[in-house]
């Protein structure tokens, strides 16, 4: 009986390990995906409004999340007036702009869950997706219309101003939704914590509810 239970435990642990993306020295690490200049996200200009959801908890076992959330939301303190002033999203690591969408309404303060094609629906966000050297991708969502600075297939080193933060698509206010994707695994979390992944993908993760550092890899 004990041997059988040990075998089951071993198999469970193997499957648990397989469910975690492999760590590699060639893995891309990220900086904070927006400007931290004093008039941008610096000096408390941006705050974490939601982390990735782990079934009711965030990576640190707290409650800063909402059901089904797949990324991290960095909200603009000051709302639409701060958005109108202009806060820049920045690419978190070197890479290539793989895809982008622009031109949608960018002052959403609600979203219609029953109609994803509405003006503030799931499929009406302005966004940029970047592919990095290790095959991982970063996604920058809810961007302000007509502020994207680079075309698709443009190769960028780390920390360019790529577009302004907005409130397009399924958004209740101006914020940057940042998402991290891993080949053969799917959406992952760049934050490490006891209720999340065992390793960080930030060059400097920072404190809980604080902002990651701005050093590039």
Point out the least confidently predicted range of 53-62, 108-117, 125-134, 152-161: 108-117
pLDDT of residue 20: 52
Average pLDDT over residues 41-62: 98
When pLDDT is averaged across residues 211-217 and rounded to a whole number, the result is 98
What distance lies between CA 168 and its chain's CA centroid?
A: 16
| pLDDT recorded at residue 114 | 84
The chain-wide mean pLDDT, for the chain, equals 90
Rounded to an integer, the average pLDDT of 139-145 is 98
Rg (CA), the chain: 18
Question: Measuring CA to CA, how many Å separate 46 from each of 23, 85, 174, 211?
Answer: 30, 13, 10, 8
CB contact at 8 A, 160 and 90 = yes
Range scoring the smallest mean pLDDT among 1-10, 34-43, 52-61: 1-10
User: Are the CB atoms for 120 and 139 separated by under 8 Å?
Assistant: no
Average the pLDDT over 152-178 and give the result. 98
In the chain, the percentage of residues whose pLDDT exceeds 70 is 88
**What is the end-to-end Cα distance of the chain in Å, rounded?**
50
Helix (H, G, I), strand (E, B) or coil at 190: coil
* CA distance to 29, 109, 148, 203, per residue, from 167 (Å): 27, 7, 14, 27
pLDDT at 11 over 50: no
pTM (two decimals): 0.88
Q: Which fold has domain 30-188?
A: Glucose Permease (Domain IIA) (2.70.70)
Which pLDDT belongs to residue 26? 65
Bridge partners (DSSP) listed for residue 101:
127
| Average pLDDT for 187-208 | 97
Query: What's the rounded Cα separation, in Å, for the pair 19 and 119?
Result: 37
How many of the other CB atoms lie within 10 Å of CB of 7? 10
What is the DSSP annotation of 20-67? SPPP-TT---B--SB--STTTTTTTTEEEEE---SSS--TTSSS---T
pLDDT at 7 over 50: no
Rounded Cα distance between 41 and 178, Å, is 15
Using CA atoms, how far apart are residues 8 and 5, in angstroms rounded to an integer?
5
Q: Is the pLDDT of residue 81 over 50?
A: yes
Segment 125-130 shows an average pLDDT of 98
| Cα 23 to Cα 19: distance, rounded to the nearest angstrom | 12
pLDDT score at 29 = 98
Q: What is the pLDDT of residue 18?
A: 36
Is the confidence at residue 9, as pLDDT, over 50? no
User: pLDDT grade, residue 1 (50/70/90)?
Assistant: very low
Put residue 50 in one of left, alpha, beta given phi > 0 → left and psi -120 to 50 → alpha: beta
């Amino acid at each position: 009986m004990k041997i059988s239970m040990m075998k089951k435990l071993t198999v469970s642990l193997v499957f648990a390990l397989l469910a975690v993306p492999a760590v590699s020295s060639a893995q891309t690490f990220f900086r904070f995906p927006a400007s931290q200049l004093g008039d941008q996200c610096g000096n408390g200009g941006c705050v974490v409004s939601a982390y990735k959801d782990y079934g009711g908890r965030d990576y640190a076992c707290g409650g800063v999340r909402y059901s089904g959330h797949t990324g991290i939301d960095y909200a603009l303190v000051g709302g639409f007036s701060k958005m109108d002033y202009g806060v820049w999203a920045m690419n978190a690591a070197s890479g290539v702009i793989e895809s982008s969408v622009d031109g949608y309404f960018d002052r959403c303060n609600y979203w219609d869950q029953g109609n994803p094609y509405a003006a503030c629906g799931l499929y009406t966000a302005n966004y940029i997706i970047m592919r990095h050297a290790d095959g991982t991708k970063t996604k920058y969502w809810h961007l302000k219309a007509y502020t994207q600075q680079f075309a698709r297939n443009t190769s960028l080193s780390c920390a360019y101003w790529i577009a302004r933060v907005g409130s397009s698509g399924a958004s209740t206010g101006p914020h940057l939704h940042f998402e991290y994707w891993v080949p053969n695994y799917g959406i992952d979390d760049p934050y490490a914590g006891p209720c999340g992944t065992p390793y960080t993908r930030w060059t400097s993760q920072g404190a809980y509810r604080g902002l990651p550092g701005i050093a590039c890899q």
